[in-house]
């Protein structure tokens, strides 16, 4: 073995260690701004993380809802989303993050993702209904007030197909287009079943009664339901019912959507 081969044999392990150390330092210094555009890209610009701080490993950002690329009427959720990312799972091709929201979601959730699948542990987040106006029509027209709670079971996705249940509870909701306050409380249940999903709307209480169900898939979305008014609120809710759908009775309208 000649002189240069012996030198290379001695130096190679240290070169590998140095390269790995440099890569680790570069990864550790990745700013939080590196991850925030991913949320906007995956949601068509509706859910955004803005004002990032910290790093990819320990960072935070503010949650913003917007009507796609139109940011003019976007709304911000008070508080910060905070996350921490495990380092070693990256070497097996996995991203494991623990996330929480300082005000709306104090109990943390875990996101575990690979290039082909992702899992989110069960969680609950509570937000003001006014936050939804940032998504655009019809929420900005209705200008909802009240409280919204989102809760979900174990959420899994494989090859772009999702499995899990999401429940949205709207409590004591009111709207600027109606003098009746509150309009009621409602529950929306979303069941993801792979290639297709189902949606069910029910009324928990209130003079404005909503019900219906629909299906969602990559090819189409459809929903059919009914909105009706309690007898004592019929006159005051007549204008709102006309905005919601086509009359189907003396104090009810049909809710339909197809795409």
Kindly report, residue by residue over 145-190, the tens digit of the pLDDT.
999 998 988 988 887 778 889 999 999 999 888 888 999 999 999 9
Both tokens of residue 141? Answer: 């027209």
Give the pLDDT of residue 31. Answer: 62
C-beta pairs of 89-98 under 8 Å, 24+ apart in sequence? 90/27
**What are the C-alpha distances in Å from 109 to residues 85, 90, 115, 117, 190?**
12, 19, 20, 17, 19
Measured CA to CA, the distance from residue 23 to residue 150 in angstroms comes to 39
**What are the C-alpha distances in Å from 259 to residues 42, 197, 217, 254?**
20, 15, 10, 17
Measured CA to CA, the distance from residue 252 to residue 228 in angstroms comes to 4
Mapping DSSP to helix (H, G, I), strand (E, B) and coil, where does residue 115 land? coil
Measured CA to CA, the distance from residue 245 to residue 220 in angstroms comes to 20
Give the pLDDT of residue 257. Answer: 80
Give the pLDDT of residue 247. Answer: 84
Both tokens of residue 74? Answer: 């976007």
Measured CA to CA, the distance from residue 47 to residue 58 in angstroms comes to 20
The most confident of the ranges 194-198, 249-253, 255-259 is 194-198
pTM for this entry: 0.79
Whether 212 shows a pLDDT value over 90: the answer reads yes
Kindly report, residue by residue over 20-47, the tens digit of the pLDDT.
433 444 444 456 666 677 667 766 777 7
Both tokens of residue 85? Answer: 């990312």
8 A C-beta contact, residue 206 and residue 228 = no
Measured CA to CA, the distance from residue 151 to residue 114 in angstroms comes to 24
Mapping DSSP to helix (H, G, I), strand (E, B) and coil, where does residue 136 land? coil
Give the pLDDT of residue 6. Answer: 43
Measured CA to CA, the distance from residue 19 to residue 17 in angstroms comes to 6
% of the chain with per-residue pLDDT over 70: 82
Spell out the residues 6+ positions from residue 45 whose beta carbon is closer than 8 angstroms to its own.
Answer: 66, 68, 69
């Amino acid at each position: 073995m000649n002189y240069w081969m012996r030198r290379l044999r001695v130096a190679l392990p240290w070169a590998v260690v140095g390269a790995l150390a440099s890569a680790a330092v570069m990864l550790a210094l990745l700013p939080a701004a590196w991850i925030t555009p991913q949320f906007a890209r995956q949601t068509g610009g509706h859910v955004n993380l803005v004002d990032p701080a910290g790093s990819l490993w320990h960072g935070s950002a503010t949650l913003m809802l917007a009507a796609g690329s139109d940011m003019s009427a976007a709304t911000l959720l008070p508080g910060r989303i905070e996350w921490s990312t495990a380092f070693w799972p990256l070497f097996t091709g996995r991203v494991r993050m623990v996330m929480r929201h300082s005000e709306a979601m104090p109990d943390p959730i875990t996101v575990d993702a690979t290039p082909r699948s992702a899992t989110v542990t069960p969680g609950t987040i509570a937000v003001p209904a006014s936050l939804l106006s940032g998504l655009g029509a019809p929420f900005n027209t209705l200008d909802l007030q009240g409280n919204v709670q989102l809760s979900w079971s174990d959420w899994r996705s494989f090859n772009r197909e999702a499995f899990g249940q999401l429940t949205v509870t709207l409590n004591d909701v009111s709207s600027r287009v109606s003098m009746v306050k509150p309009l009621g409380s409602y529950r929306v249940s979303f069941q993801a079943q792979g290639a297709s999903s189902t949606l069910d709307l029910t009324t928990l209480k209130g003079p404005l009664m909503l019900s219906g169900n629909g299906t969602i898939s990559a090819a189409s979305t459809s929903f059919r339901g009914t909105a009706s008014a309690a007898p004592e609120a019929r006159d005051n809710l007549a204008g709102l019912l006309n905005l919601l759908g086509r009359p189907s009775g003396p104090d009810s309208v049909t809710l339909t959507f197809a795409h």
